[in-house]
A and B are shown apart, each in its own frame.
Chain A
Amino acid sequence: MSEPVVWLTIFILSVFVGIEVISKVSSTLHTPLMSGANAIHGIILLGAILVTGYAESTTALVVGLVAVVLASVNMVGGFVVTDRMLQMFRPRKTTREDVNQ
């Protein structure tokens, strides 16, 4: 296979997986799911680190660093806030124990 076709294959298969894995979500979990998916695209941090690490001019370095900051806010903040939302969904027993501690 030529390389663009390999990429296209990965892309198309990922589309189907993406739809399939969330197709049965109840409306109760729409908000956390949106927030969790939001955190996952924070992985752009990886791309931001790569371009910044190879920056050759000061301008490129500064722009890259801004991208790194923004992407880490997205990724880290996204996962933390999703976890905070989901903490609320614990069964009642656990919550009571926590209160007693």
Chain B
Amino acid sequence: MIATPVWVQVVYLAAAVCFILALKGLSSPRHARAGNLVGAVGAVVAVVVVFFYAELDHLIPILVAIALGTVVGVVGAQRVQMTQMPQLVALFNGVGGGAAALVALLELSEAAGDPAAAQPGAFALAATAFTILVGSVSFSGSMVTFAKLQELMTSRPVLFPGLPILFGGSLLVALVLGVLTVTSTTIWVGIVLALVGLGLGVLLVLPVGGADVPIVISLLNAFTGLTVAAGGYVLGNTVLLVAGTLVGAAGSFLTKLMAAAMGRSIANILFGALKGGSTLGAGEASDRPVRSAGPEDVAILLGYAHKVIIVPGYGLAVAQAQHTLRELVDVLSARGVTIDYAIHPVAGRMPGHMNVLLAEAQVPYEQLKEMDDINGEFKQTDVVLVVGANDVVNPAAKTTPGAPIYGMPILNADEAQQVVFLKRSMRPGFAGIENELLFDPRTTLLFGDAKDTLGKLLSAVKTL
């Protein structure tokens, strides 16, 4: 490998600055899109520059591979439904981690296969082992989160006896293999290390329950960042080191923020199920009596209210009913009803997911109120309309220690005069626990597909 010329290093520095600006931009609503573009430009420039100085062989196959990956990435990114966004991010993250692990394996095989060449130092070998291990963890972990979110497998925590011992044992084996990589530098140690990493990733994510999966995606995202940083050290490449570290640090901090929004600690999310605490949910429909009504009754309730708050959830998005909901809100507003949307930080499948879904339906940004801003207003609210949400208004988060969602801040829908739930069935929400609010005497249930029901509500309100 030839040395990196100074002008290339300067370009790498510029790319690193682009990435910092990208993250900065992505943290503010006004500059987010520009920030993302700046990041993309930095990445493309850094990649293009390689071809001009590195005197690479196999140019045609490499370019074909890039073209193939680009097509897959673009098509995947454009075809995906907004509701399936979290899965796609998990998938992209996983393949990034896998790529980093493969790069490190190749570096190791080069060092192992040519003892005459200058050998990497102990630090570089340790970084190689780290990249192989954590990259594999990130790859397999992301694939399991993908399967959970795509409902290819159960989204409930998967536990089996001996899981903690197996996990601990594998971790120990990985540590030993890591040391072996440094001392003996053989490719087989690296390959076994990668396999152990794949196993560890699966074991890490299996016990995580549905509602916590997005936080694990964020954590694995940070893992991949650190992997890329270590890979940068191995290859002697500054832009990889800086970009990877930025993502590792920002990703870890973001994971902490997300966990805090759910009132959980990261340790609790990862290992809570192992202690038995978070498997309380039965995941079955209850047959306790509830009060249900027809669209006409609910239309009267809404049409003559002064203040209504709408709590949208994932069910709304799945039914693709955002547009119908917005129409209903427009008609009610025209009647003089004050309406806001209360957005729980983790409404949908990921923090901020619901904002994306409602923005897609062109709901004005100003009508979306964050939890802390609106929670005081529920007491003066006539009707709360909960559309396809459940866990985010479940009072068990405040009242039932031991419930999987205990401690999660919720929307205080239970303080309103009336609560109306639009639901498909009595099945519990993503967290798999029953919601006491459904059985409250002030609560009315309107069963049916969200889009269908909202359509009926809309025409009923129009005839008032």
Complex alpha-carbon distance, A66 and B55, angstroms: 20
B residues near A55, Cβ cutoff 8 Å: 57-58, 106
Cβ–Cβ contact B33 & A63, under 8 A: no
Cβ–Cβ contact B43 & A75, under 8 A: yes
- The reply on B304 being an interface residue by CB < 8 A is no
Which of B61, B69, B78, B350 sits near A70, CB closer than 8 Å?
A: B69
- The reply on B324 being an interface residue by CB < 8 A is no
Q: What are the interface flags for A21-33 relative to B under an 8 Å C-beta threshold, 1 for contact and 0 otherwise?
A: 1111111111111
Complex alpha-carbon distance, A35 and B36, angstroms: 10
In the assembled complex, the CB of A101 is this many whole angstroms from the nearest CB of chain B, namely: 15
Complex alpha-carbon distance, A89 and B253, angstroms: 23
Give B51's nearest chain A residue, CB to CB: A49
- The reply on B305 being an interface residue by CB < 8 A is no
Complex alpha-carbon distance, A64 and B57, angstroms: 12
- The reply on B282 being an interface residue by CB < 8 A is no
Complex alpha-carbon distance, A14 and B229, angstroms: 10
Output the residue of B40, B232, B233 with the most chain A CB within 10 A: B40
Given A30-B257, A31-B351, A72-B73, is A41 in contact with B27 using a C-beta cutoff of 8 Å?
no
Cβ–Cβ contact B370 & A26, under 8 A: yes
- The reply on B300 being an interface residue by CB < 8 A is no
- The reply on B102 being an interface residue by CB < 8 A is yes
Given A27-B352, A33-B23, is A79 in contact with B242 using a C-beta cutoff of 8 Å?
no
Give A31's nearest chain B residue, CB to CB: B352
Give B221's nearest chain A residue, CB to CB: A38
Cβ–Cβ contact B123 & A46, under 8 A: no
Cβ–Cβ contact B95 & A74, under 8 A: yes
Cβ–Cβ contact A14 & B241, under 8 A: yes
Given A88-B356, A92-B364, is A69 in contact with B69 using a C-beta cutoff of 8 Å?
yes
Cβ–Cβ contact A40 & B370, under 8 A: no
Complex alpha-carbon distance, A38 and B80, angstroms: 17
Given A37-B254, A46-B240, is A53 in contact with B62 using a C-beta cutoff of 8 Å?
yes
- The reply on B100 being an interface residue by CB < 8 A is yes
Given A34-B254, A47-B237, A60-B106, is A81 in contact with B88 using a C-beta cutoff of 8 Å?
yes
Cβ–Cβ contact B69 & A14, under 8 A: no
Cβ–Cβ contact B92 & A18, under 8 A: no
Which of B37, B73, B96, B360 sits near A44, CB closer than 8 Å?
A: B96
Given A18-B247, A34-B350, A89-B359, is A26 in contact with B232 using a C-beta cutoff of 8 Å?
no
Q: Chain A, interface size: which category?
A: 35 or more
Output the residue of A17, A60, A70, A80 with the most chain B CB within 10 A: A70
Given A81-B77, A84-B78, is A21 in contact with B24 using a C-beta cutoff of 8 Å?
yes
- The reply on B89 being an interface residue by CB < 8 A is yes
B99-126: which residues lie under 8 A (CB-CB) from chain A?
99-100, 102-103, 105-107, 109-110, 113, 121, 123
Cβ–Cβ contact A53 & B57, under 8 A: yes
A78-98: which residues lie under 8 A (CB-CB) from chain B?
78-92, 95
- The reply on A1 being an interface residue by CB < 8 A is no
Complex alpha-carbon distance, A69 and B61, angstroms: 11
Cβ–Cβ contact A60 & B85, under 8 A: no
Which of B27, B57, B246 sits near A17, CB closer than 8 Å?
A: B246
- The reply on B337 being an interface residue by CB < 8 A is no
Cβ–Cβ contact A38 & B39, under 8 A: no
Given A40-B23, A44-B100, is A7 in contact with B241 using a C-beta cutoff of 8 Å?
yes
Complex alpha-carbon distance, A81 and B250, angstroms: 19
Cβ–Cβ contact A79 & B26, under 8 A: no
Cβ–Cβ contact A29 & B26, under 8 A: yes
Given A44-B103, A47-B100, is A26 in contact with B29 using a C-beta cutoff of 8 Å?
yes
Complex alpha-carbon distance, A68 and B103, angstroms: 9
Other A-B pairs beyond A34-B350, A36-B22, 13, CB < 8 Å = A4-B123, A10-B238, A31-B89, A42-B92, A52-B56, A55-B58, A55-B106, A60-B106, A64-B58, A68-B65, A72-B73, A74-B92, A85-B82
25 cross-chain CB contacts under 8 A: A4-B121, A15-B245, A15-B249, A17-B20, A21-B23, A30-B254, A30-B352, A33-B254, A35-B85, A36-B35, A38-B89, A41-B224, A46-B47, A47-B228, A50-B56, A53-B57, A61-B58, A64-B102, A65-B61, A67-B98, A70-B96, A77-B73, A77-B77, A78-B96, A90-B33
Closest 6 CB pairs of A and B: A72-B69, A77-B73, A53-B56, A18-B249, A74-B96, A88-B359
Interfacial residues, chain A to chain B (CB-CB below 8 A): 4, 7, 10-11, 14-19, 21-56, 60-61, 63-92, 95
